[in-house]
Amino acid sequence: MTLLYKADPERGQAWRRLFQEQAPDIEFRQWPEVGNADEVRYLACWQPPQDLAQRFPNLEVLFATSAGVDQFDLSLLPADLPVVRMLDPGIVAGMVEYATLMVLALHRQLPLYLDQQAAGRWQEHALVTANNRRVGVLGLGQIGQAVLERLATFGFQLSGWSRSPHELPGVRCHAGPEQLPAFLADCEILICLLPLTPETRGILDAELFAALPRGASLINLGRGAQLVEADLLAALDSGQLSQAVLDVVEPEPPAADHPFWQHPRIWLTPHVGAMTVPETAFTVLLDNIRHHQRGEPMRGLVDRQRGY
Ligand code: NAP
Ligand code: GLV
């Protein structure tokens, strides 16, 4: 039984060690050392190799090493090939940290105070308490829910939006396009934690920004292609938005002369909201392999129709 790993090479060494120690029956190979491609039954990757189906004719499962699977063109994969995304608690923990860091920074007006320091100005502004701050999350999946749970501990007014209806304690939940405007009207800080699908591509656009309270802030932790960049720049220029925090852009990295690099109202980080943690991700992956070997359902199976 052979697994081929094609993701960050450094973390690949940790994966190799874990397989040797805990699953010696599975041969671990690391890209580009593919060996006999006919022997590869499992592929764990971030970016898939070209002609995947032709190249690995005996592939049984495609495992994403990421929570998102938009890097795969699902239409090009054999219809019966299971695609499984990574439900790594390490990814969730990283995203919760990042979202909390940025929500607190925006809530406590850090962008304004950093500007004031640069201008040598000592000026206090009214403090808004957490229970008077409205924070909303687009996407109520494993990450959106974990972020909301942590934010609840600060006492924020919380709301969320998803495709299907949800009920979460302490969160005003909205679902579907028809409930999007009501959700947005309540978001002074909006966090995007949606997967990239045809429905969510370009969702962060002028119409969405216009539905937010004036001066709202955006944190995009989903995917860069969900953002209409020109609409963001216009919303920041007009004051409709006061700040954007972008962990993801399309493409990554942006060109050297891209306006996001120098924009005074944009904080940009290089897709580091979370990283797959080999130790925790390995347990999840191995568990899924064992389930597959026993013919049992795997966790994180992607629904090809929904695209996530
Ligand atoms: P998930 O568990 O699949 O949850 C996705 C959520 O989005 C679900 O609540 C789903 O609604 C909702 N959704 C999907 N399409 C929608 C639509 N058209 N309209 C409204 N809601 C929609 O995903 P996750 O594990 O939380 O991850 C979310 C995304 O975060 C990933 O896909 C990835 O793009 C991003 N991510 C980024 C980083 C980073 O480092 N920046 C790291 C990890 C993940 P239902 O609940 O109704 O299905
Ligand atoms: C990272 O972006 C992920 O989807 O896990």
Mean pLDDT, each 10-residue run in order, the chain (308 residues):
96 96 97 97 95 94 97 92 96 98 98 98 98 98 98 98 98 98 98 98 98 98 98 98 98 98 98 95 97 97 96
- Answer whether the bond into residue 251 is a cis peptide, omega within 30°: yes
| pLDDT for position 137 | 99
- pLDDT tens digits, residue range 52-110? 989 999 999 999 999 999 999 999 899 999 999 999 999 999 999 999 999 999 999 99
> Whose Cα sits closest to atom 1 in ligand 2?
66
Please identify which of the residues 11, 271, 291, 304 carries the catalytic annotation. Answer: 271
Give the Cα separation of 220 and 228 in Å (integer): 12
Distance from Cα 287 to the centre of ligand 1, integer Å? 22
| pLDDT for position 117 | 98
Ligand 2 atom showing the smallest separation from residue 248 Cα? 2
Tokens read off for 68: 């998102």
Q: Pick the ligand that lies closest to the CA of residue 142.
A: 1
- Select from 3.40.50.1110, 3.40.50.720, 3.30.70.141, 3.40.50.1000 the CATH code of 2-88+276-293: 3.40.50.720
Overall pTM surpassing 0.85 (yes/no): yes
| pLDDT for position 97 | 98
Q: Do domains 2-88+276-293 and 90-268 have the same CATH topology?
A: yes
| pLDDT for position 238 | 98
Ligand 1 atom showing the smallest separation from residue 196 Cα? 34
Nearest of 256, 231, 175, 195 to residue 68 by alpha carbon: 195
Q: Diameter of the chain by CA atoms?
A: 67
CATH 3.40.50.720 for the 90-268 domain, yes or no = yes
Residue 228 has phi, psi (to 5 degrees) of -90, 105
First to last CA, the chain: 27
Clarify whether 291 is annotated catalytic. Answer: no
Give the Cα separation of 90 and 68 in Å (integer): 14
CA dihedral 274, 212, 203, 261 (to 10 degrees): -60
Name the residue ranges covered by the structural domains of the chain.
2-88+276-293, 90-268
Beta strand segments in 53-168, E: 61-64, 83-84, 134-138, 157-162
